[in-house]
Structure 1
C-alpha cells in the first residue's frame, strides 16, 4: 500500500541528476524541508514549529525537467507516493528515512512567479522530428536541445536565466554508480 502526499517546502539541496547505466533512465533527487509556522496570538508574532525532511525522487522527463528548473532555496509543491523506511548503517546507528517518489513537482506560486514551457508533441514524434532536422543540416541549435520543443536532450546544457535562477547554473550530475 502506498500513500499519496502533497508537501510544500524549500528545495534544501542542489538537484542531483543521474542516468541509470543499463537502461538510460533519468533519475533525480533533492532534499526538501517543510517547516510548520504558527501565529502566536499572545505574542502577536509568527514562530517556526518542527521541520520535516524528505528525500524527493523523480524519474524520466520529470527528473530532467526538475534538474533544469529547480534551484536550491526554491519554494516548491511536491505530490507523490510516501515511503517511510527504517535504516541501520554499518556503525550500528539507526533511523527512519522519509521519501517521496514524486509524481509532480512545481514552484509554489504563493511566493513568486514562474514561466512555464509546455512540451506538446508526443515524445516519439519529437525524437523523429529532431532526427529529421539534424539530418537536414540545421546547426543553429546546440546538440543537446530538441529543435521542436527546446527541451534538453542531455543533462550538460546550461539553463537560461529565468529571473531568480543563476544563468550559469548547471544541474548537479552524479555518476551512474553513485548512490542517492
Structure 2
C-alpha cells in the first residue's frame, strides 16, 4: 500500500538478462538517468549527475523486454522503487536502487518504435471464452461500420429548425434580437 511509485526516463545501460525461474520469466537491466540543466554561463544544456537503477521485470513484461530492449535505447519505466543498503565485507556502506517495473516503453520523444502484440499461449476454448472484440457478431450485434458514408449516399444534416417546426409561442420573446445603437 505505502509504496513509492516512480516514472523514470533514461537510457538502457546494460544488456537485459533474461531468466526462466520456477515463479515465471524474469529480466533485469541497468538504467542510466542523467539530469540536464541549462548552464547560463555557457548558454547550453549540460549533463548533471547520473543515477543508475536496476530495473526488474517479471512474467510477460520480462519476455517482452528481452525481445525489445537493447543497450543505448531511451526508455520510460514505471514501477515501485526499492532502495537497499548494506555493508559488504571490506567495503563502505553499499546502496542499490531497484525498480520493480509495472510498465516499460520506448521514449517516443527521442525516436520511433514499432509495436507488435505479443502472442499469447492458447488455452482450451472451454476455459478461455473468446473476447467480444474478437467476435465479429458479439452478442448478436452486427459489426459497426467504421467508414464515413459518401456525401451522395446521405443528405447533408440540417442544424437549423425550420419555422414550421419551431416551438409554439412568439419567437421574438423567446430569443430577442440585441439592440443596435447607432
TM-score bucket (shorter structure): 0.5 to 0.7
2:115 equivalent in structure 1? 116
2:4 equivalent in structure 1? 3
Deviation at 1:85, TM superposition (A): 0.8
Structure 2, unpaired ranges of 5+: 126-182
Deviation at 1:42, TM superposition (A): 2.9
2:41 equivalent in structure 1? 42
User: Which residues in structure 2 correspond to 1:1-180 (within 5 Å)?
Assistant: 1-20=2-21, 23=22, 25-119=24-118, 123=120, 126-128=122-124
TM-score when normalising by structure 2: 0.64
Q: Which has the higher contact order (CA 8 A, sep 6+)?
A: 1
Alpha carbons of structure 1 residues 43 and 60: separation in structure 2 relative to 1, 3 Å: same
**Count of residues in correspondence between the two structures:** 124
Deviation at 1:39, TM superposition (A): 1.2
- SS in structure 2 opposite 1:63? helix
Q: C-alpha separation between the residues in 2 aligned to 1:49 and 1:99?
A: 21
Q: C-alpha separation between the residues in 1 aligned to 2:124 and 2:116?
A: 20
Deviation digits for residues 17-61 of structure 1 (CA, Å, limit 9, x no counterpart):
0111xx251010000010001111332111111111100000000
Q: C-alpha separation between the residues in 2 aligned to 1:118 and 1:5?
A: 25
Larger radius of gyration: 2
